[in-house]
Structure 1
Amino acid sequence: MILALFAAALAYLLGSLPFAVLVSRGMGLADPRSYGSGNPGATNVLRSGSKAAAALTLLLDGGKGWLAVWLAQRAAQAGWLESAAVPLVALAVVLGHMWPLFLRFRGGKGVATAAGVLLAANPWLGLATVVTWLIVALFFRYSSLAALAAAVFAPFYALLGQDLIWSLQPAMVVALGAISLLVIWRHQRNIRKLLRGEESRIGSKTPGAQRKPPR
Structure 2
Amino acid sequence: MTANAVFMICLAYLSGSLSSAVIVSQLFHLPDPRLFGSKNPGATNILRLGGRTPAVLVLLFDIFKGLAPVYLSYWWDLPVIVLGLVAMAACLGHSFPLYFGFKGGKAVATAFGALLPIGLGLAGMMIGTWLVVVFLTGFSSLGAITATLLAPVYTYFIKPEYTPAVCMLSLFIILRHRHNIVRLVKREEPTIWQKKKAVK
| TMscore range, shorter length | over 0.9
Which of 201, 208, 215 does residue 191 from structure 2 map onto?
201
Q: Deviations over 1:125-163 (max 9, x none)?
A: 12111111111011100011101101110011111x1xx
Provide the identity percentage.
Answer: 43
- Alignment partner, residue 71 of structure 1: 72
- CA change 1:142–1:83 in 2 (3 A) is closer
* Displacement after TM superposition at 1:205 (Å): 1.2
Structure 1 residue 178 and structure 2 residue 168: aligned? yes
Correspondence list, 1:121-136, <5 A: 121-136=118-133
Q: Matched residues in 1 for 2:145 and 2:80: separation?
A: 29
Bigger Rg, which one: 1
For residues 75-94 of structure 1, what are the structure 2 equivalents within 5 Å? 75-76=76-77, 81-82=78-79, 84-94=81-91
Deviations 1:91-134 (A, max 9, x none): 21111111111122211101111111111222211211111111
1:85 is displaced (CA, Å) by: 2.5
AA at the equivalent of 1:194: L
- Residue 190 in 1 paired to residue 180 in 2? yes
Aligned to 2:159: 167
Task: State the TM-score, normalizing by the size of structure 2.
Answer: 0.93
Q: Describe how 1:91-170 pairs up with structure 2 within 5 A.
A: 91-159=88-156, 161=157, 166-168=158-160, 170=161
Match of 2:33 in 1: 32
The question of 1:6 aligning with 2:3 is answered no
Q: How many corresponding residue pairs?
A: 199
Instruction: Give 1 or 2: higher helix fraction.
Output: 2
* Equivalent-residue separation in structure 1 for 2:101 and 2:50 (angstroms): 27
Give me the whole-angstrom Cα distance separating, in 1, the residues matched to 2:163 and 2:99. 29
Shift of 1:84: 4.3
Please, which moves more after superposition, 55-64 or 119-128? 119-128
Supply the AA of the counterpart residue of 2:106: K
Question: Could you say what the CA RMSD is over the residues aligned between the two structures, in angstroms?
Answer: 1.7
Structure 1: how far apart are the matches of 2:79 and 2:183?
A: 43
Q: Distance in 1 between matches of 2:26 and 2:97?
A: 17
One-letter amino acid of the counterpart of residue 117, structure 2: A
Whether the aligned pair in 1 keeps the contact of 2:34 and 2:40 (CA below 8 Å) is yes
TM-score normalised by length of structure 1: 0.87
Q: 1:59 and 2:74 equivalent?
A: no
Query: Quick one: distance in 1 between partners of 2:179 and 2:39?
Result: 12
Secondary structure of 1:109's match? coil
Structure 1, unaligned runs of 5 or more = none
